């Protein structure tokens, strides 16, 4: 964890100095508080920023109320700069800032060091909620979990020897089991968390293998960010309740800071992914910036709809796709228009792509419908082609959303025909030729010549196969072919004309009937 002497060393470059000569090396800083004159009670934090406080004496008094280890105060021109009498053993350390120091810059440094640069004993990385859970568990004397608003586990304390089955299932499954959520909902726990900051004790339920718990809401203003849970067999006393409440505020700071970091990461990631989707001569270098090995990738295109509105759930799906720091996720994603594009390391085996889509689907509410397309495998330079294939597969899946996601590998023939239809729609179909002339004759005389021609061509000239498809006698096929020869120039012995007629029929999608 960050020590006060590290903070002093960094801020000395901004003209800060420590008042007094007390030992600071072993003072640990875990949280930050800012003076808020509108707050009804003291704001709690290890490092207290006395922004807008007029005197050092007031700054120290407020820091004492905040149970801070150090107070940062700016010495205005003409103000006494010697250590105030309040700086004595047991009171907060005072870090005096230069009169010209920018509070915004100082706050950025303090928040960055305390909340993001922590060197934790658990070694589990920056903004370490796990270390915070360990610390809180030690302070309150019970196992701790930190959960998001959807009851998914974000962090938990270490020792699990006293954990009940529900807690073990929660940690192993990374979310609270449905039966536990249903029990808590029945007891009004989630209603309390939505409306109150006061910790709530939940009595044990031995019949469900559930020990008692105390939970406190984590929120930023009115926005719920999650909750902190402590396993305990009786309500916490006043001191431990206060520690839990203060810890919930500290968790909120961490989550807000992590959200900003995640948003910045998403922005950088999105811009790099878009470069690859649109094509760039430095594709290999961009892949390296994204932390992806120069291996075969696929582009996945995803949209999320609700019954009442198309693309209504796309932002939620994007959050699910980009949850966690990049190195913990297999793919890299961007939200482009109303579509999420994900670059996923994946070769000829479609299982990783379908598995990724299944994971996104499980994380979405039940009323959300996902449609998705999977492009063919591609090297770095071929990613734009895989993106086009993913778009076309997505368009095909949108016509049949109840089926599995469409992959280009499995539906290339349908996609090719759709490309031909698109090209034909953009130009002009021939108004003359056998297919056009037979189509007009069918429309005027209700004849089945176009369907017969298609059946014969797809059967490669086998009369029996064509007759079986149309459920008529082979002689009927012979008769119709003779009539078609009389109506138009039908050169069935020319392979190029046979291919052209098949393409024209596919574009028209003439149904097979008799």
427-470, pLDDT tens digit by residue?
A: 666 667 888 899 999 999 999 999 999 999 999 999 999 999 99
d(CA 291, CA 287): 6
Please report the pLDDT score of residue 307 as a whole number. Answer: 73
Q: What is the pLDDT of residues 146-171, one digit of tens each?
A: 998 888 888 888 766 667 888 888 88
Question: 379 and 308, same structural domain?
Answer: yes
Quote the number of domains for the chain: 4
Is residue 123 domain-resident?
no
Please report the pLDDT score of residue 122 as a whole number. Answer: 36
Please report the pLDDT score of residue 260 as a whole number. Answer: 60
Please report the pLDDT score of residue 427 as a whole number. Answer: 63
- For residue 485, what is the domain's CATH number? 1.10.10.2840
d(CA 365, CA 363): 7
User: Are the C-beta atoms of residues 38 and 60 closer than 8 Å to each other?
Assistant: no
Is residue 266 domain-resident?
no
Note down the domain range covering 208.
128-258
**397 three-class SS:** helix
Of 84 and 267, more confident: 267
Question: 226 and 110, same structural domain?
Answer: no
Is residue 152 domain-resident?
yes
User: Are the C-beta atoms of residues 186 and 166 closer than 8 Å to each other?
Assistant: no
Is residue 192 domain-resident?
yes
**46 three-class SS:** coil
Tokens of 381: 């330079």
Question: 151 and 61, same structural domain?
Answer: no
Spell out a b/e string for 150-166, using b for 16 or more CB atoms within 10 Å of the CB, else e: ebebbbbbeeeeebbeb
Question: 194 and 284, same structural domain?
Answer: no
Instruction: Name the pTM for this structure.
Output: 0.51
Q: What string of DSSP letters covers 57-117?
A: HHHHHHHHHTT-SEEEEE--TTS--SPPTT--TTSPEEEEEPTT--HHHHHHHHHIIIIIS
Question: 213 and 132, same structural domain?
Answer: yes
């Amino acid at each position: 964890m960050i020590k006060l002497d590290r903070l002093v060393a960094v801020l000395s470059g901004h003209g800060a100095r420590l008042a007094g000569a007390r030992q600071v090396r072993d003072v640990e800083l875990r949280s930050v508080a800012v003076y808020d004159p509108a707050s009804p009670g003291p704001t709690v934090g290890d490092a207290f920023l006395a922004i807008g406080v007029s005197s050092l004496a007031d700054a120290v008094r407020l820091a004492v109320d905040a149970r801070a280890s150090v107070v940062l105060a700016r010495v205005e021109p003409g103000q006494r700069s010697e250590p105030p009498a309040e700086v004595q053993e047991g009171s907060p350390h005072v870090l005096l800032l230069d009169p010209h120091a920018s509070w915004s810059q100082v706050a950025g440094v303090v928040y960055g060091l305390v909340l993001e640069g922590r060197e934790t004993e658990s070694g589990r990385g920056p903004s370490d909620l796990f270390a915070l859970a360990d610390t809180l568990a030690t302070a309150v004397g019970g196992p701790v979990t930190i959960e998001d608003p959807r009851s998914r586990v974000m962090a938990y304390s270490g020792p699990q020897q006293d954990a009940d089955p529900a807690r073990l299932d929660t940690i192993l499954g990374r979310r609270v089991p449905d039966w536990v959520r249903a029990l808590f909902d029945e007891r009004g726990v989630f209603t309390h968390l939505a409306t109150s900051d006061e910790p709530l004790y939940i009595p044990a339920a031995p019949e469900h293998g559930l020990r008692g718990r105390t939970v406190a809401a984590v929120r930023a203003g009115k926005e719920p960010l999650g909750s902190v849970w402590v396993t305990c067999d009786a309500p916490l006393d006043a001191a431990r309740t206060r520690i839990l409440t203060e810890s919930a505020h500290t968790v909120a700071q961490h989550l807000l800071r992590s959200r900003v970091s995640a948003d910045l990461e998403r922005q950088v990631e999105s811009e790099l992914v878009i470069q690859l989707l649109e094509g760039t001569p430095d594709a290999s270098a961009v892949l390296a910036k994204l932390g992806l090995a120069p291996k075969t990738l696929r582009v996945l295109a995803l949209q999320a709809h609700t019954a009442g509105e198309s693309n209504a759930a796309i932002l939620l799906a994007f959050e699910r796709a980009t949850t966690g720091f990049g190195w913990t996720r297999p793919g890299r994603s961007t939200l482009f228009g109303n579509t999420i594009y994900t670059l996923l390391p994946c070769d000829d085996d479609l299982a990783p792509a379908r598995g990724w889509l299944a994971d996104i689907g499980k994380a979405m509410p039940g009323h959300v419908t996902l449609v998705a397309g999977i492009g063919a495998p591609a090297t770095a330079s071929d990613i734009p082609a895989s993106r086009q294939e993913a778009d076309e597969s997505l368009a095909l899946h949108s016509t049949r959303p109840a089926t599995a996601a469409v992959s280009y590998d499995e539906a290339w023939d349908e996609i090719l025909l759709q490309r031909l239809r698109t090209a034909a729609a953009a130009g002009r179909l021939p108004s003359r030729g056998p297919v056009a002339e037979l189509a007009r004759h069918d429309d005027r005389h209700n004849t089945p010549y176009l369907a017969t021609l298609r059946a014969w061509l797809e059967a490669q000239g086998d009369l029996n196969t064509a007759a079986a498809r149309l459920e008529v006698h082979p002689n009927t096929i012979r008769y119709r072919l003779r009539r078609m020869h009389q109506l138009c120039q039908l050169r069935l012995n020319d392979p190029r004309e046979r291919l052209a007629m098949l393409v024209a029929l596919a574009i028209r999608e003439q149904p097979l009937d008799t």
